[in-house]
Structure 1
Amino acid sequence: MNRKNFITSLVTAGGILSTCDAWAAPTLSEMRREHKIPPYLKAGDSIGITSPAGYISLEAIHPSVQLMESWGFKVVIGTTIGKKDYTYGGTDEERRLDFQMMLDSPEIKAIMCARGGYGFVRFIDQINFKDFVRNPKWLIGFSDITVLHAHVNQNFGIATLHSKMCNSFPDDWAKAEPIQISTILSIKQALGGEKLNYTATGALSNRYGRAEGPLVGGNLSIIHTLAGTPSDLDTRGKILFVEDTKEQLYSIDRMFWNLKRTGKLAHLAGLIIGGFNIKTDAIGEEFGQSVYEMVMEKVKEYTYPVCFDFPVGHQLNNFALKCNVKHELMVGQGGSTLKEV
């Protein structure tokens, strides 16, 4: 059942449903609902590259094309690559048509978004997912692509891949840092069907415990702007991960209040805090709380585990995560682990 978070009261034949009922924990049948995992890729399969948000040149995606071809995949370059309409990779209609073509093509087994930026929300409601639901494929990206992850996970229960995109591939693989290589290879491992297993060092603010549930999340700014829309995430019984970049502390605090007030923090299985690249406060206007403090303030009455400093976000250590796939989160004194189960 897909219940609205913003219900103040619902008059029914039997009486009134309060907000407490609207935010109730998921039923056993909801928790056991099967999630669809697209077929994993094999050598010879095709990956499409499209730019549904910001502009990117053909030259900029060349390293990613070379590397994915070296993995044994064919690469189909979309019509939006190299197109420019102000900040976008083509007009809204050009970006929509390119994405729709790749979504409907039976030859394309995965779609990698070339970069983030801004733009997917401008046409997400015009995408026809009918063929995709019948024949799911891996949708890959992060940042602005959180719109797509949230919409697909919430409406269709299909797994997607939150990971780096073409603009994050190194120009020279031989000179790339080890952590950059590991994160790019995690995309190959995920698409090939390997079960992913990650660790994070211990943080003083971590709250210990074990959680199990589907993994959902992405960019905090995007998640908070989707509240009340058809793409709004239902986080009940889920492990939620969030990350963000170029935001000031007061803005991050406001967004976490949004998560709390919309009920998204109330019935989590677990919470993962990834990278947060903070804009420096102006002198004399310091916010006064760290990300650690503001998060724990919002979840202090709950008991689920909380993991900080997880390797996901706008940073080099941004590993691939399978959204809407069941994971186990363990947070302890020695650090945290997240593994697919």
Structure 2
Amino acid sequence: MIKPNALKFGDVIGIVAPSGPTTKERVKLAKDQLEGLGFQVKLGHSCYEKHGYLSGKDEVRARDLNHMFEDQEVQGIICLRGGYGASKILNRIDLEQIAKRPKVFVGYSDITALHLAMNQISKLVTFHGPMGSSDIAGGLDDFTREGFLKAVMGSSPMGEIQNPKGKKMQSLVGGKANGILVGGNLSLIAATMGTPYEIDTKGKILFLEEIGEEPYRVDRMLTQLLLSGKLGDAEGILLGDWMDCEPEEPEKSLSLMAVFEEIIGPLGKPTIYDVEAGHCSPMITLPFGVRSFLDAEEGRLIIEEGGTV
């Protein structure tokens, strides 16, 4: 895997919007907050564009992202927000150029599509972490800020990943596993099946998170990963935050945990849940593309390799 240079205070961070739009006020807040952390900020044109539910037309969003990787003044790139649209520009992204100009790249949710492409085709280590409008604009809590900065500014392994105090990682299936950490949002992983960007889970630790999906829809997407062999190929599984994924009518539904137990449990893969990464605050920043160790007996995740150089 190719690792980007670690960020340092004073570096220029580019903000781009590969997915949905936000307001000018949120863009300014994100810029101000990043500057308050000690970075310089360059805003992409897509941050101010709007094309229905997209932050500008596909060519605008793709050009913005390509430009930020080409721009020698920019050392890191943070996505403005998720929503929808990243998968629409995958065939417009210069993944070969990205491999030649590796930079810290951060985002989650819809940005999973870009993580998959960059991890698997560009062979770039990327970071599943806070975004400009969604998280940074409102000010990061201490836990989220410290974890984010440790991930993108330190070349040493992050070591054991801790949840916020009072929230323990739980074991769904016992056992231990080693592998490269990959994954992201379940909907996006399912949506890229059958495309050149389909996730490769062989020998990997697979991280999954989701927001706003009823258990039957989570069931459907996990079943797709099961039938395609993606769950079976993984060495271990991490279940992150599942914001608003409990049933609206519990008496007519399986619980989310029942879905996990029925689909993931029988595989016998070491699995932990309640990992505070995804659509949550506080939020763990995870490096995708580095060696990790999962101890599902004790509910522990250890990042054994630095994500930057």
Same topology, TM > 0.5 = yes
Aligned residue runs from structure 1 range 195-274, under 5 A: 195-196=157-158, 197-200=160-163, 201-203=168-170, 206-274=172-240
Offset of residue 156 of structure 1: 2.3
Aligned residue runs from structure 1 range 46-61, under 5 A: 46-61=12-27
Name 1:295's counterpart in structure 2. Answer: 260
Stretch moving more, 291-300 or 212-221: 291-300
Name 2:151's counterpart in structure 1. Answer: 190
User: How many angstroms apart in 1 are the aligned matches of 2:188 and 2:280?
Assistant: 17
> 2:19–2:83: 8 Å Cα contact kept in structure 1?
yes
Mark the CA change 1:284 to 1:249 in structure 2 (over 3 Å): closer, same or farther. closer
One-letter identity of the residue aligned with 1:142: Y
Name 1:339's counterpart in structure 2. Answer: 303
Identity %: 32
Name 2:104's counterpart in structure 1. Answer: 138
User: How many angstroms apart in 2 are the aligned matches of 1:171 and 1:72?
Assistant: 15
Cα RMSD for the two superposed structures? 2.0
> 1:54–1:116: 8 Å Cα contact kept in structure 2?
yes
Offset of residue 65 of structure 1: 2.1
Offset of residue 322 of structure 1: 0.4
Please tell me whether residue 309 in structure 1 is matched to residue 270 in structure 2. Answer: no
Offset of residue 284 of structure 1: 8.4
Offset of residue 92 of structure 1: 1.5
User: How many angstroms apart in 1 are the aligned matches of 2:265 and 2:143?
Assistant: 35
Give the structure with the higher percent helix.
Answer: 2
Mark the CA change 1:65 to 1:302 in structure 2 (over 3 Å): closer, same or farther. same
Offset of residue 244 of structure 1: 0.5
For 2:78, what is the secondary structure of its paired residue?
strand
One-letter identity of the residue aligned with 2:262: E
Mark the CA change 1:272 to 1:284 in structure 2 (over 3 Å): closer, same or farther. closer
User: How many angstroms apart in 1 are the aligned matches of 2:15 and 2:276?
Assistant: 25
Stretch moving more, 100-109 or 273-282: 273-282
> 1:217–1:242: 8 Å Cα contact kept in structure 2?
yes
Mark the CA change 1:202 to 1:126 in structure 2 (over 3 Å): closer, same or farther. closer
Mark the CA change 1:301 to 1:250 in structure 2 (over 3 Å): closer, same or farther. closer
Offset of residue 339 of structure 1: 2.8
Offset of residue 172 of structure 1: 6.2
Offset of residue 307 of structure 1: 0.2
For 2:180, what is the secondary structure of its paired residue?
strand
Please tell me whether residue 154 in structure 1 is matched to residue 120 in structure 2. Answer: yes
User: How many angstroms apart in 1 are the aligned matches of 2:102 and 2:304?
Assistant: 20
> 1:270–1:329: 8 Å Cα contact kept in structure 2?
yes
User: How many angstroms apart in 2 are the aligned matches of 1:187 and 1:313?
Assistant: 13
Structure 2, unaligned stretches of length 5 or more?
none
> 2:210–2:245: 8 Å Cα contact kept in structure 1?
no
Name 1:109's counterpart in structure 2. Answer: 75
User: How many angstroms apart in 2 are the aligned matches of 1:283 and 1:206?
Assistant: 24
TM-score, scaled to structure 2:
0.89
Offset of residue 82 of structure 1: 2.0
Offset of residue 332 of structure 1: 2.5
> 1:37–1:158: 8 Å Cα contact kept in structure 2?
yes
> 2:201–2:231: 8 Å Cα contact kept in structure 1?
yes
Please tell me whether residue 124 in structure 1 is matched to residue 90 in structure 2. Answer: yes
> 1:57–1:83: 8 Å Cα contact kept in structure 2?
no
Mark the CA change 1:263 to 1:210 in structure 2 (over 3 Å): closer, same or farther. same
> 2:173–2:265: 8 Å Cα contact kept in structure 1?
no
